[in-house]
Amino acid sequence: MTFASLGLLDPLLRALDSLGYAIPTPVQAQAIPAVLAGRDLMAAAQTGTGKTAGFALPLLQRLTLEGPTVASNGVRALVLVPTRELAEQVHESIREYAVNLPLSTYAVYGGVSINPQMMKLRKGVDVLVATPGRLLDLHRQNAVKFGQVQTLVLDEADRMLDLGFSEELRDIYAALPKKRQTLLFSATFSESIRSLAGQMLDNPLSIEVSPRNQAASSVKQWVIPVDKKRKAELFSHLLETQRWTQVLVFAKTRNGVDQLVSLLQQQGVNADGIHGDKPQATRQRALDRFKASEVQILVATDVAARGLDIDDLPLVVNFDLPIVAEDYVHRIGRTGRAGALGQAISLVCADEVDQLAAIEVLTRQTLKRVEQQDFEPEHRVPLTDASGQVLKKPKKPKKPKVVGGGGKKNLGKWLESDEPASPQVKAVRKVPLFNTGPKKKK
Ligand code: AMP
């Protein structure tokens, strides 16, 4: 299959050619014809599967063919995303796809001055990428008008709910024209998202290109059990002994990010951090420098977990496990993108056993555990599996061993092997450990 056979216009095909996209990815192959035909869409796609082009290409084509020109302060297509970083990234992709088209595109998000955004919106914008809070601010100040909106895209919809945007989404939804196309994308589909979809979508085509709630199979995942107080020491040890080149590290709190960054910097490691307390410009600079390999270790809270596309990122480390199990899938989805191989290592202490169990239930797999010599935890991490059971509290071991996948293994050797992560377990029992409902804004 080619992009031309999906019925895309020549200016789009030329843009794809110059980006080196030869063959549509599965989500693109399904989404593009449906969106071109004007259908609503509910798409569950793994991170890194090319879903941005899946909605952006047909959307740009429809705008080009259909006219009319955009009115002052008007918008013809609205793409809602949960975070500022994702807004920048999605906008950048759309800009690249639209390079040969007579369409204007722009991104608005909070954390930066609103005035330049108001100025820019005066002439109207064909495609506007926005975070919900700032979009509503602009709408309330009449800087943006929704009368011309013909397509609404919700990207990472579940994350928007997780971040507490459900009220904003409701307000935006109420202000939009009733007759429009709606495309809902998400890597994970919780019950609250399905109910949102029920309210917003009209006879949607459901696309599910991958098993639900799973990371790309190209990501090799494992857990290293360790005592909480020794996590930083273990991280430094692995950084040195495994000769890690570029690592995206996730920590639970802003404080945790700052502490790890300053510790690494004291050790002479080129590290930087991003979290919600830092100004947007600082966050973007740290991310850009990390992407350009000018920063070796980027430590982030979950604000950076979604959608970020970093070329050939080899490794994600969960310094802390996420509170919400779905975030695990998104975090590790930063590696192994576009078919590349990736590794995801989680440093897990005994306190995090419930989070680990919830992740294993969600992803329907028992994560392999590999202990690191000299870092075997005093507080053992109880055994878990994909049924959601915390199996038992193991006794203190006499010597290091590997559990959750069987047999003794040497960490270094296992890393180099092609052995996949533990087989998936079919029987899934729901445990109320992970919260799928909307939460308070962070
Ligand atoms: P996304 O899931 O939209 O963030 O895309 C993940 C990565 O895949 C991005 O770097 C895209 O540029 C790239 N990509 C998307 N579609 C294709 C394609 N058909 N061929 C090659 N690369 C692609």
pLDDT, one tens digit per residue, over 58-103 is: 999 999 998 778 999 999 999 999 989 899 999 999 999 999 999 9
Indicate whether residue 25 lines ligand 1 (CB < 6 A).
Answer: yes
Q: Shortest CA distance to 159 belongs to which of 149, 151, 169?
A: 169
- Look at 15-29, 174-188, 376-390 and tell me which has the smallest mean pLDDT: 376-390
According to CATH, the superfamily of the domain at 4-208 is P-loop containing nucleotide triphosphate hydrolases (3.40.50.300)
Tokens at residue 115, please?
């005035």
Buried b (16+ CB within 10 A) or exposed e, 1-28: eebeebebbebbbebbeeeebeebbbbb
> CA Rg, the chain, in Å?
22
Tokens at residue 242, please?
């495994």
Q: Is the pLDDT of residue 306 over 70?
A: no
- The minimum-distance atom of ligand 1 relative to the CA of 51 is 3
Q: What are phi and psi of 356, to 5 degrees?
A: -60, -45
Indicate whether residue 333 lines ligand 1 (CB < 6 A).
Answer: no
Sequence letter at residue 90: V
Indicate whether residue 51 lines ligand 1 (CB < 6 A).
Answer: yes
Helices (H), 248-352: 254-266, 280-291, 325-332
Which of the listed residues 5, 6, 19 should we mutate to test ligand 1's pocket, taking the one with most ligand atoms within 8 A of CB?
A: 19
Q: For residues 435 and 432, give the distance between their C-alpha atoms in angstroms, rounded to a whole number.
A: 7
Indicate whether residue 334 lines ligand 1 (CB < 6 A).
Answer: no
For the chain, residues classed under CATH 3.40.50.300 are 4-208, 219-397
Q: What is the pLDDT of residue 303?
A: 73
Sequence letter at residue 140: R
Give me the mean pLDDT over the 46-51 stretch: 74
Cα(21) to centroid(ligand 1), Å: 8
Q: What is the pLDDT of residue 160?
A: 87
Sequence letter at residue 63: L
The answer as to CATH 3.40.50.300 being correct for domain 219-397 is yes
432 Cβ contact list (under 8 Å, min separation 6): none
Q: For residues 372 and 361, give the distance between their C-alpha atoms in angstroms, rounded to a whole number.
A: 25
More confident residue, 426 or 185: 185
25 Cβ contact list (under 8 Å, min separation 6): 49, 50, 53, 54
Tokens at residue 67, please?
């006219």
More confident residue, 439 or 140: 140
Q: How far is CA 337 from CA 18, 234, 298, 340, 390, in A?
A: 20, 27, 18, 6, 32
What interhelical angle do 280-291 and 84-97 show, nearest 10? 60
Q: For residues 169 and 404, give the distance between their C-alpha atoms in angstroms, rounded to a whole number.
A: 42
- The minimum-distance atom of ligand 1 relative to the CA of 311 is 10
Q: In which band, very low, low, confident or very high, does the pLDDT at 351 lie, cut at 50, 70 and 90?
A: very high
How do residues 225-248 score in pLDDT, each as one tens digit? 999 999 999 999 999 999 998 999
**Contact (CB, 8 A) for 12 and 100:** yes
Q: What is the pLDDT of residue 216?
A: 59
How do residues 107-129 score in pLDDT, each as one tens digit? 999 989 999 999 999 999 999 99
Q: For residues 246 and 37, give the distance between their C-alpha atoms in angstroms, rounded to a whole number.
A: 42
Q: What is the pLDDT of residue 341?
A: 73
Taking the model in full, what pTM does it have?
Answer: 0.61
Q: Is the pLDDT of residue 427 over 80?
A: no
Q: Is the pLDDT of residue 300 over 60?
A: yes
